[in-house]
Amino acid sequence: MKLPGVDALGSVGLVGERKAVALLCLGFYTTLFFMIGLSARTELPEWLPVFIGMTVIYTTAFMGVAAEWFWGRWFATGLGYWGCTMAVMAFVTTRSLPPQMIVFGVMHALVSLCLAGEKMAAVFDAKPAWRERWKLDDQGVLRVRRSVTRAASSLPALVMFALAPRESAGSFAVGWDLTAIVLVGLALATFIGLLTSLRTWTILSLAVVGLAVVLHVVTGSTAISDAHPYFAAIDEVPAAAYPFAGAFGGAALIVAAIPFLGPIASYVRRRAD
């Protein structure tokens, strides 16, 4: 997935200014989810895990960009893609685009656009140290970038799907889907493995966990409880958005594994010969 005009930023300068704009957007949503979480702690405690998870994700993106970690730009770009997808999904399902979703989509698009381009890459993933440590050529770096960006775009969706409280069938009791929580925990562990040491098992695990998430969404029987007034950024998205978020997150994990499936298959064939 690419935003229109991203390639045109390849020769654009203003690296520091664009990085500052991206940090401003990421910092805004880090603070927003943190403050909403503080309010939900007493008003809607069942939603607190969602806000904690979202705060952790946006804090990680903020730190990754601010500290110029080699994967920071990719991680934040993935969040930008997710935000744009949610805005489009809100418009498609409701046939309207409330101001909250316009701001949500525009700010996430800004993150992805501001962090695009070769000059921005020179500050992050073009640094030679991590390439030498992982022994990657340009094609290998491109594969890692695609995998990290796609996997990062899945994380907010998976948090929403796994940690949003469910209404148990036939009752008003609110609980959590333990299977979804376990699957998201495995996805997080696999994603961390991808960032710290590129191994075949991390790639294959992304695909397997993603497939398991999609199957769980399709076969799930519990409904997400009603939307709440504190989730201002996506308050206008109907409850159907949460199963959609699970499907989107699972699909993004599967797609994240695709860049490496060809090289893995070639390696297996060579070893077999």
pLDDT in tens, 5-22: 444 554 557 888 999 999
Which of helix, strand or coil describes residue 242? Answer: helix
Q: What confidence tens digit (pLDDT) does each residue in 114-151 have? A: 999 888 988 888 888 888 888 888 888 888 899 999 99
Place of tokens 């950024």: 233
Q: Residue 228: pLDDT above 60? A: no
Global confidence as pTM? 0.82
> In the chain, pLDDT over 90 holds for what percent of residues?
26
Give residue 72's pLDDT band: very low, low, confident or very high (50, 70, 90): very high
The region of weakest confidence among 36-45, 53-62, 117-126 is 36-45
Rounded CA-CA distance 74/65 in Å is: 9
Buried b / exposed e over 135-144, threshold 16 CB at 10 Å, is: eeeeebbebb
Q: Residue 248: pLDDT above 90? A: no
Sheet of strand 174-175: strand arrangement: 174-175, 166-167, 223-224
- Using a 10 angstrom Cβ sphere, with 0-12 exposed, 13-18 middle and 19 or more buried, the burial of residue 229 is exposed
Q: What is the pLDDT of residue 227?
A: 44
Taking residues 213-224, report their average pLDDT: 71
- DSSP state letter for 47: G
Q: What is the pLDDT of residue 134?
A: 81
Give residue 170's pLDDT band: very low, low, confident or very high (50, 70, 90): very low
DSSP for 133-177, written as a single string:
HHT--HHHHHHHHHHHHHHHHHHHHHHHHHHSPEEPTTS--EE--
- DSSP state letter for 4: T
Rounded CA-CA distance 186/216 in Å is: 14
> In the chain, pLDDT over 70 holds for what percent of residues?
80
The region of weakest confidence among 7-21, 37-51, 93-107, 201-215 is 7-21
Sign (positive/negative) of CA torsion 253, 259, 263, 269? positive
